[in-house]
Amino acid sequence: MRTLFSFTLIAAALAPATLSAQSWESNGSPATIVELYTSEGCSSCPPAEAALNKLKGKEGLWTTVIPMAFHVDYWNYIGWTDKYAKPEFSQRQRQKVSQSRASGVYTPGWFINDQEWRGFFARQPVPYANGPKAPKLKASINGNTLRINYEGNERLQAQYALLAMDITTQVKRGENRGRTLEHDFVVVDFDAKTGQHNWQFALDGNTAANPSAIAVWLTPQGGGDPVQTVAGWLE
C-alpha cells in the first residue's frame, strides 16, 4: 500500500469521438458502486487492479456491481506519467477523506458505496449486493450529450463515468518499470451535479482511451449509498 501523507439496453453504434443514440434504464434495485483509486506509478496497484478486473466476468456486472478505476496523478512525479490519471480524480479521493469516509489518501484505495474498504489487504473478495428497490432511472446518449431522468422525487447528486476496457500499458520508468499492466473499468470521463428528476451532461469527445461502457448513479447530496444506478456496454 502506498500512502500520500498520512436493464434495458437500446443501442445503436459507437462512432469515433461521438456516441450515437443509446439508452439504458433500471427500475429495480441499485448496484453496488466499487471505486478503486490507482496509478500506473504505484507498485502496489497491479494486484488491486487484477482483483477489480475479475469482476468483468461476474454474473451481475452492471446490475449488481459497477466497478470503476480512478487513476490518480499524485504519483506521476516518481518517474512515470499515468496518461489515464486526472487531478480531479485525486481531488475526489481527497474529498472522501475530508468527509471522514477514509482514513487517508493512498493507493490502492478502495471504496464500496462511498465508504473506505480495506478488506483487499486481508485478501477478502470484493463485496457487493443490491440495495433497496428504487424508482426508474434512465440514461440516454445522443452525440456528446448525456441525459438522465429519474422518476423519484428526491434532490440527488447524479454522477456518470465513461469506462475504457482491455487496456495494456508497457511501463518504461518508475516503480513498475518493465511491467506490462492490464487495465479494465478505467474512468476516462466523469462528472457530477446536483438536481432533481432530470440532469444533462456534455461528454468529453477526446478521452485518453475509447470508452466501452457507461455507469450512472444517484446518491444523496452528501454522498453515501447509491439510491439508484444504471450501467451497460456501449455498442
Over residues 108-124, the pLDDT tens digits come to: 999 999 999 999 999 99
**Which pLDDT score, from 0 to 100, does residue 6 have?**
38
Rounded Cα–Cα distance for residues 218 and 139 (Å): 11
Give the position of cell 434495458. 8
Domain span at residue 187 reads: 2-233
Instruction: Please return the burial class of 165, using the count of CB atoms within 10 Å of its CB with bins 0-12, 13-18 and 19+.
Output: middle
Which is nearest to 110 in space by CA: 128, 88, 85, 131?
128
Rounded Cα–Cα distance for residues 159 and 191 (Å): 6
Cβ 185 vs Cβ 66: under 8 Å: no
**Which pLDDT score, from 0 to 100, does residue 8 have?**
37
**Which pLDDT score, from 0 to 100, does residue 18 have?**
65
Q: List Cβ neighbours of 57 (8 Å cut-off, separation of 6 or more).
A: none
Tell me the residue type at 211: P
Tell me the residue type at 160: Y
Residue ranges of the chain with pLDDT lower than 70?
A: 1-18
**Which pLDDT score, from 0 to 100, does residue 12 have?**
34
Number of domains into which the chain is organized? 1
Rounded Cα–Cα distance for residues 228 and 219 (Å): 8
**Which pLDDT score, from 0 to 100, does residue 28 have?**
95
**Which pLDDT score, from 0 to 100, does residue 235 have?**
85
**Which pLDDT score, from 0 to 100, does residue 15 have?**
38
Rounded Cα–Cα distance for residues 160 and 153 (Å): 19
| Residue 67: count of CB within 10 angstroms of its CB | 27
pTM of the model as a whole: 0.92
Cβ 171 vs Cβ 78: under 8 Å: no
Number of H helices, E strands in the chain: 2, 18
Which is nearest to 118 in space by CA: 131, 133, 128, 108?
108
For 132, the 3-state DSSP assignment is coil
User: DSSP letter at 64?
Assistant: T
**Which pLDDT score, from 0 to 100, does residue 19 have?**
72
